[in-house]
Amino acid sequence: MPRAFTPKVVTANALLEGDVVYLTADDRWTRQLSEAELLTDEAVAAERLLSAERRQAEIVGAYLVDMVAGDNGPEPTHFREGFRRTGPSNYHHGKQAEV
């Protein structure tokens, strides 16, 4: 039996600001993880990543990251992505300050 595919989100950093962005289903880059497209099919995920990587004038370093479906959109499975979603813990800077 093939290994179950962990759902993914395409993420990157914005070219100009360097902050964390996620790819939405309608091909926008969003700052809010809740708006990101949760990819549950491995082939589709690979294809979405490829198309994201072509958008060099908007973003840097696109990659696929594990997520789970939550009540309010995708939720990180690892603490690193939790910090990327929120911002640093020593100051109220980054994403947490933007909402």
Partner 1 sequence: MYRYNDFDTAFLAERNAQFRQQVERRIDGSLTEEEFRPLRLMNGLYLQLHAYMLRVAIPYGTLNSGQMRQLALIAEKFDKGYGHFTTRQNIQYNWPKLPDVPDILDALGEVQLHAIQTSGNTIRNVTADHFAGAAADEIADPRPVAELIRQWSTDHPEFQFLPRKFKFAVTGSPNDRAVTRAHDIGVRMVRNAAGEPGYEILVGGGLGRTPMIGKVIRDFLPPEDLLPYLEAIVSVYNVLGRRDNKYKARIKITVHENGLDTYRDRVEARFAEIKPLFSGVDQQMLREIEDHFAAPAFRNAPTDAYDAARDANPAFRAWSDTNLAEHKANGYAIVTVSLKKHGDTPGDATAEQMRVLADLGEKYSHDELRISHEQNAILPHVHKSDLPAVYAALREAGLATANVGLISDIIACPGMDYCALATARSIPVAQEIAQRFDDLKLEHDIGPLKLKISGCINACGHHHVGHIGILGLDRAGVENYQITLGGDGTETAEIGSRTGPGFAYDEITDAIERIVLAYLDLRESPEETFLMAYRRVGADPFKAALYPEDKGKSRAA
71 binds partner 1 (CB under 8 A): no
77 binds partner 1 (CB under 8 A): yes
Beta bridge pairs of residue 10: 64
- List 3, 4, 71, 90, residue binding partner 1 (CB under 8 A): 90
Binding status of residue 32 toward partner 1 by CB under 8 A: no
DSSP 45-97: HHHHHHHHHT-TTTEEEEEEEEEEEETTEEEESSHHHHHHHH--SSSS-THHH
Residues that bind partner 1 (CB under 8 A): 13, 15-20, 56-57, 60-61, 77-80, 83-84, 87-91, 93-95
